[in-house]
């Protein structure tokens, strides 16, 4: 329901950092907050889950966030050398469209390679990882502090 969304959105906004990307403001509440975690599975696979809020705070037009498949997605994780593509996400039909004043919460999982141009998520403690947004309307690199 929209009430539940408003409560979740408020939680993320009040505990998170904001990142301005063109007309959208992205909020991230850091690892350890609900929906955000990093672990190494018993088999050695690094698994990162990211839950983020995006809000159309700056445009009277609809703004589309695009992610149609691992190979064609404006969101990834970068460690300064390599881009890691998602293993799972909840962009319905490859995009989330936000009307003016609207917000949406989205989830992305980085882990095993699911194919379709994907990658396996690999953790190297000597590198710094960022969640990268590269939309036509703007970009940001959000520090993940996995170490």
What is the SS3 assignment for 141?
Answer: strand
Q: What is the pLDDT of residue 116?
A: 87
Query: Which residues of the chain fall short of a pLDDT of 50?
Result: none
pLDDT at 93: 87
Q: What pLDDT is stored for residue 102 in this prediction?
A: 96
Query: Among 41, 32, 28, which residue's Cα sits nearest to residue 121?
Result: 41
Whole-number pLDDT of residue 134: 98
Q: How far apart are CA 80 and CA 98, in angstroms?
A: 30
pLDDT given for residue 5 in this prediction: 92
């Amino acid at each position: 329901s929209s009430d539940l969304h408003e409560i979740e959105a408020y939680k993320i906004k009040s505990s998170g950092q904001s990142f301005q990307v063109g007309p959208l403001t992205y909020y991230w509440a850091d690892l350890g907050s609900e929906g955000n975690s990093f672990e190494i599975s018993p088999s050695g696979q690094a698994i990162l889950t990211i839950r983020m809020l995006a809000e159309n705070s700056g445009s009277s037009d609809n703004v589309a966030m695009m992610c149609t498949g691992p190979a064609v997605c404006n969101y990834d994780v970068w460690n300064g050398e390599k881009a890691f593509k998602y293993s799972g996400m909840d962009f319905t039909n490859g995009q989330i469209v936000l009307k003016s004043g609207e917000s949406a919460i989205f989830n992305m999982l980085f882990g095993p390679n699911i194919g379709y141009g994907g990658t396996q998520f690999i953790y190297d403690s000597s590198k710094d990882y960022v969640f990268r947004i590269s939309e036509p309307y703007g970009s940001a690199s959000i520090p993940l502090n996995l170490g």
